C-alpha cells in the first residue's frame, strides 16, 4: 500500500491509528471557533472540525488536490455543513483569511510542501494573535506504512522550521503510536 493511498485512502483504516475527534478535542477546538486545515485532503480532520465548531464557527480547508477538495465538498453537502470554506491551490501561495483563525492545522502534511517555511509563515498571517499552530506528523521512525523516511521531518526538524517561521513552542507530545504533535503560537520576536 503506497503512501498516498494511506494519505487519501480508506478513512476506516486510517481511524485504526489516528482519531481526528480525539486530536481536535485535545487541542481545545470548540463551538464558535475558526479552524484552518492546510492540506485538508478529503476532510479527515475538516469534517470533524466543522461538527465541533458548529454553526457559529467556521472551517477553512486548502489542498492542492482539486479532486480531494471536490470530494470534501460533496461530503459537506451530504451533511448540510454550510460553514466550510474550501479552496484548491498551493499553501505557499494562498492565505485564506487574515487574523481569523483560532487554529491553523497541519495533519500529516508539513513534509509534503515545496517550501514549508513559506507555508508556516502564511499560517502565521491567518492566525489570531492568541491562536495556535498545530502540526501532527509522522515520527521519523521505520514503520510499515506512511510516507518514505527520506521525506519525513523529525520532531527537531519540524520544531526548527516552526521557530524559523516566527512561532514559539507551546508543547511537543506523542500523538498515537505513529505521530507527534507540536503546538506553537505566533511570536513577535
When pLDDT is cut at 50, 70 and 90, the band that residue 5 belongs to is very low
Q: Chain centroid to CA 32: how far?
A: 19
What domain count does the chain have? 1
Please state which of the ranges 4-8, 106-110, 117-121, 154-158 shows the lowest mean pLDDT.
4-8
pLDDT higher than 80, residue 131: yes
For the domain that residue 169 is a member of, what is the CATH number? Answer: 3.40.50.150
Measured in residues, the chain has a length of: 189
Residue 95 CA neighbour count, 13 Å, CB half: 14
Task: State pLDDT tens for residues 81-94.
Answer: 999 999 999 999 99
For residue 158, the enclosing domain spans 3-186
**Mean of all residue pLDDT scores within the chain:** 92
Task: State pLDDT tens for residues 17-35.
Answer: 899 999 999 999 999 999 9
How many angstroms separate the CA atoms of 108 and 57, rounded?
24
Amino acid at each position: 500500500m503506497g503512501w498516498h493511498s494511506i494519505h487519501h485512502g480508506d478513512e476506516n483504516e486510517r481511524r485504526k491509528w489516528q482519531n481526528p475527534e480525539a486530536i481536535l478535542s485535545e487541542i481545545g477546538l470548540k463551538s464558535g471557533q475558526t479552524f484552518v486545515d492546510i492540506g485538508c485532503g478529503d476532510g479527515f480532520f475538516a469534517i470533524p472540525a466543522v461538527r465541533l465548531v458548529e454553526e457559529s464557527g467556521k472551517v477553512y480547508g486548502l489542498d492542492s488536490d482539486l479532486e480531494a477538495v471536490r470530494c470534501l465538498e460533496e461530503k459537506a453537502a451530504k451533511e448540510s455543513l454550510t460553514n466550510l470554506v474550501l479552496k484548491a491551490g498551493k499553501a505557499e501561495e494562498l492565505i485564506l483569511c487574515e487574523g481569523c483563525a483560532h487554529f491553523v492545522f497541519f495533519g500529516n502534511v508539513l513534509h509534503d510542501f515545496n517550501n514549508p517555511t513559506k507555508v508556516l509563515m502564511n499560517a502565521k498571517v491567518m492566525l489570531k494573535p492568541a491562536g495556535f499552530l498545530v502540526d501532527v506528523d509522522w515520527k521519523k521512525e521505520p514503520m510499515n506504512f506512511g510516507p518514505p523516511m527520506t521525506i519525513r521531518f523529525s520532531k527537531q526538524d519540524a520544531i526548527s522550521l516552526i521557530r524559523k517561521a516566527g512561532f514559539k513552542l507551546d508543547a511537543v507530545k506523542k500523538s498515537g503510536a505513529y505521530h507527534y504533535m507540536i503546538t506553537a503560537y505566533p511570536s513577535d520576536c
